[in-house]
Chains A and B, each alone.
Chain A
Amino acid sequence: MIALTEDLAKAYLQSRGLPVPAGSAAATADEAARRAEALGGCAVIKALVPAGRRGLAGAVRKVGSPTEAREAGAALLGSDVGGHSVEQVYVEALEPIVAELYLSFVLDRYPAQVIASVHGGVDIEQIHRDHPDRIHRLDVDPVGGLRPWEAMRLWERCGIESARLPALAALTVGLWQAFVAADALMLEINPVAVCADGRLSVVGAMLGVDDAALARQPQWQAMAATLASRGGRRANARERSVLEINARVPGAVFRYTELDGDIGFFVGGGGASLFQHDLMLALGARPANHLDATPGAGWKEKMAAVVDAILARPGVRGLLISYNFLQLVNVDERMRLIVDHLKLRGVDPTRFPVVVRLFGPGEDRAREIARELPGLVYMPPMTPIEAAVARIVELTGGPRGTAG
């Protein structure tokens, strides 16, 4: 999922005609002061990071003057919020809020759901734990979409009074349509503010977009590599290099995520990499990374980018190259590319263990190619997938805690 920062999410919602408070991003404390002044002095300064619970983390501050805005900006810029370094703050008009509602749209399974509550604001998770009956959910029909009367019924169940229902239902349907049009997997509005003058305002907005749909969402596509998250944090430089090659060369998609272990993990496909990761942990060792690789064009470049990222990691002690039985590609073609790249990088398997389990058509020729790199361990034909994992663990020092 691509987690958009609040400025991007709100600019998008505004472009769809939804009621978003005036606001913009600032990279310095002085700029924050100027933006607050332009808003009349009273403003909210928020750390611009793609993380929830900012309110509880003290990363959302109300200010009454440009001077206070400068102070808030100076305090937030450069700090760490939810594991993200704050490089910008968002300066937004302060709404005269009389009530805070919670509204989100989520798609992590079939079908998508709307979640609503009249208990919006920073304590929503507490409410969810203590009073789950105060959170209301609705499955949305994927074909018909969310209908106004369904949204009205949902808010009615939440306890909203009749007079407010039509406007709230209309906003909810508008947000649902924005959610679908963005190919979003998550859109959270917390709070939907009810203002003193009766207006509804989208005060908190977080938007997470489906990676697979980015190519048809040109407004965010260019930012994909910088915005991509890896295990809840922003991708690092090595991970970004793999993301960038995925974007530049269409075809295969290599999802490379660094972890704190020491065995380079070049495995596939999706199921086999999950299976081997479990096996490695069960043997008391830890992968330096996870990899989820799909087949397709550009395999050579993407393999090279991942292998380079693994080799660039300090402390990595060996490399496992292990796929499930290949059905659609010739093993010798893969092996040629791998051996050439390892040679290019001066990898010496007698010092840096490399274990290969690549079975399938062309395997005999692949075994000949592998002999060009002395020390490379090619698992014997028909060896179970378990054995390759055990071999790299053994060659890199055995189960951690008993050796190495």
Chain B
Amino acid sequence: MSILVDASTRVLVQGITGAQARRDVAHCRAYGTRVVCGVTPGRGGMQVEGLPVYNTVGAALAIHEIDATLIYAPPYAVRDAVLESLAAGIRLAVVLAENVPVHDALVMRASAERAGALIVGCNTNGILSPGQCKLGGIGGDLPARVFMPGPVGIVSRSGGMSAELALTLKAAGYGVSTAVSMGGDAVPCTPMVRYLALFDADPGTEATLLFGEPGTPNEQEAADWLASRNSAKPVIAVLAGEFQERYPAGASFGHAAAMIQDPRDTVSAKRQMLADVGAHVVRRLGELGPLLDRLGVTRIGVTGAVEDAT
């Protein structure tokens, strides 16, 4: 089982004619992802690796049924690409671009909330349900190097760390239900807590592993949610960036910085808040395997166990 994407997900690729998109899409299709068609303004009528290309999302949707869009627009074109997909009725978007202006992220997040859609990113390397579907560069040309199917959900502020976590799990004999690299920007288009709730409701996920960073209220919101949920599914938290508290604060630029400073934004405060509401807070990746052993999470190779859990 998985969240958001599985073997049945039908995918549109916005910006399919670019070099990064062509490379990733080839890897995604080789992995089994059902890529249906692409959109690049001005390239309608073209074909990319046998896939039809349209000028607009609306034109593509007039012909194809689509569940998700994978967006390769460059940073300043991302906002309009996302708004176009929302207007066309797509409710799941994965946005890979880095360095998207924060004001654009604000507009995308508000628009997605209004549309009831979910945008993964910006600045994500993608989302992957092992053995079923991958959207984006996550896992590269051979995801099985890192990502094995299993019952641990991963949501990470860092794309690289989602791979590092999955690799640690694999080495310890555990697999992943879905890995979500949610993006490390100041304003992610979807807050972490939304993914945690999806994993909580997913019968194929036995435990959820989150990777957090300093700044942003994502982990506070996760702690608030943990305190209020009606579930005992384990949540494991790895947080990095405590070092920022060990250096003196720089000279302030304006009084506003002092007025919006939130002491709950530090990694130590986040660790404390999450531990207080029952999350398992881990400081070394080497602790993950023994912790999952203690929690009784199903290991790779235990036949039928994941299916039984559903």
List residues of chain A with CB under 8 Å of any chain B CB.
1, 3, 50-53, 82-84, 102, 104, 106-113, 115, 124-125, 128, 135, 141-143, 180, 183, 185-186, 188, 190, 206, 208, 210-213, 215-216, 229, 231-233, 253, 259, 268-272, 274-275, 277-278, 280-281, 294, 296, 323-328, 360-361, 382, 384-386
Contact = CB atoms under 8 A, between A and B. Distances in A.
B137 interface: yes
Contacts of A3: 253
Interface residues of B, number: 67
Contacts of A275: 161, 238, 240
Contacts of A82: 251-252
B216 interface: yes
Interface of B: 75-76, 98-103, 106-107, 109-111, 114, 125, 137-142, 145-146, 156-161, 163-164, 167-168, 171, 184, 186-187, 191, 211, 213-217, 238, 240-243, 246-247, 249-260, 267, 284-286
A1 B158 CA distance: 21
B98 A206 contact: no
Contacts of A53: 252, 255
Given A274-B243, A278-B242, 16 more contacts: A52-B254, A53-B255, A84-B251, A104-B256, A109-B217, A211-B99, A213-B103, A253-B99, A269-B161, A271-B159, A272-B164, A277-B243, A278-B243, A281-B246, A328-B140, A361-B142
Contacts of B286: 384, 386
Contacts of A229: 250, 253
A343 to B, nearest CB: 27
A270 B123 CA distance: 11
Contact of B260 (A1, A113, A124, A233): A113
Contacts of A83: 250-251
Interchain residue pairs A-B with the least CB separation, the first 9? A232-B250, A271-B158, A324-B160, A271-B161, A327-B140, A142-B106, A274-B240, A275-B240, A269-B160
Contact of B253 (A50, A143, A326, A361): A50
B140 A272 contact: no
B140 A212 contact: no
Contacts of A111: 106, 110
B158 A141 contact: no
Nearest to B100: A212
B13 to A, nearest CB: 17
Contact of B255 (A124, A183, A269): A124
A186 B243 contact: no
Contact of B258 (A125, A215, A386): A125
Contacts of B241: 274, 277-278
B125 A328 contact: yes
A386 B255 contact: no
Contact of B103 (A106, A180, A190, A328): A180
Contacts of B250: 83, 229, 231-233
16 contacts: A51-B253, A106-B260, A108-B260, A111-B106, A111-B110, A143-B114, A188-B254, A215-B76, A269-B160, A270-B184, A271-B213, A272-B164, A274-B213, A294-B98, A324-B158, A384-B285
B160 A186 contact: no
B288 to A, nearest CB: 10
A163 B164 CA distance: 61
A259 B253 contact: no
